[in-house]
Amino acid sequence: MLPASVKWVSTVAVSALLVLSGCAGTAHIEKDKSADFSKYRTYAWIDKPEEKGRKKNRRTELTETNIRNAVNEQLQKNGWREVSANPDVLVSSELLVERNQKEQQDPVYSQPYSRSYYNRYSGRVITYYFPSRFMGYDTYSTTVREGTITITLIDNSTDKTVWQGWTTSELNSSRISSNEIDRSVKTIFRKFDTGK
């Protein structure tokens, strides 16, 4: 039998993992089954049309840089190399931040109370304690901000999308943080199976 301290540490560790995995969201992917991923070794980023000849949006510039850095890290872990000319694959990313309604439930419990009775035979007062009881759930809607990151890989020779991954996660503030970006991109690339 495990000591109480070991059981407590195990419980805390499992709880922390559940909380962290809940924050990461679920990744979804679409893959062209006819694409031969073994021939892909180099990539380059697609510049967005608004970046050519127009002033960059300073509010989103840092976010886009963080997404690119996170994707670069994951692709390079898979043995891919960023090049400036003749890449095998073109990479693009999109970020959509929107407000959504989320249903939440809070448990409702009755108030605990106690009652005292006078026992006329013993001449003493006896007090009974009634603990709170579970009554059900209070359901309500709240507004949350969610960020969806989408990564698209396009075969440079055929101009055909060969892989796309995306994930949606709840944001802690009005903008997506670099930690949230890293977590979301890692979640997407966990499903980056380039095998046939």
Classify residue 161 as exposed, middle or buried by CB count within 10 Å of its CB (0-12, 13-18, 19+): middle
| Count of Cβ atoms closer than 10 Å to residue 186 Cβ | 16
Among 188, 31, 161, 158, residue whose Cα is nearest residue 95: 188
Percentages helix, strand, coil for the chain (3-state, rounded to 5) are 30, 40, 30
**pLDDT value for 4:** 47
Residue 194 confidence class, pLDDT cut points 50, 70, 90: low
Residue 2 confidence class, pLDDT cut points 50, 70, 90: very low
pLDDT digits (tens, 9 = 90+) for 10-32: 444 444 444 444 445 788 989 99
Lowest model confidence (mean pLDDT) among 28-32, 151-155, 172-176: 172-176
Mean pLDDT for the stretch of residues 101-106: 85
Quote the mean pLDDT of the chain.
Answer: 81
Residue 194 backbone dihedrals phi, psi, to 5 degrees:
-95, 5
Among 34, 52, 47, residue whose Cα is nearest residue 87: 47
* 3-state DSSP assignment of residue 148: strand
Residue 62 confidence class, pLDDT cut points 50, 70, 90: confident
Mean pLDDT for the stretch of residues 82-105: 89
H or E element, residue 13: helix 4-24
pLDDT digits (tens, 9 = 90+) for 112-125: 888 888 888 888 98
Mean pLDDT for the stretch of residues 182-192: 90
DSSP string covering 58-81:
HHHHHHHHHHHHHHHHHHHHTT-E
Among 10, 91, 77, 6, residue whose Cα is nearest residue 44: 91
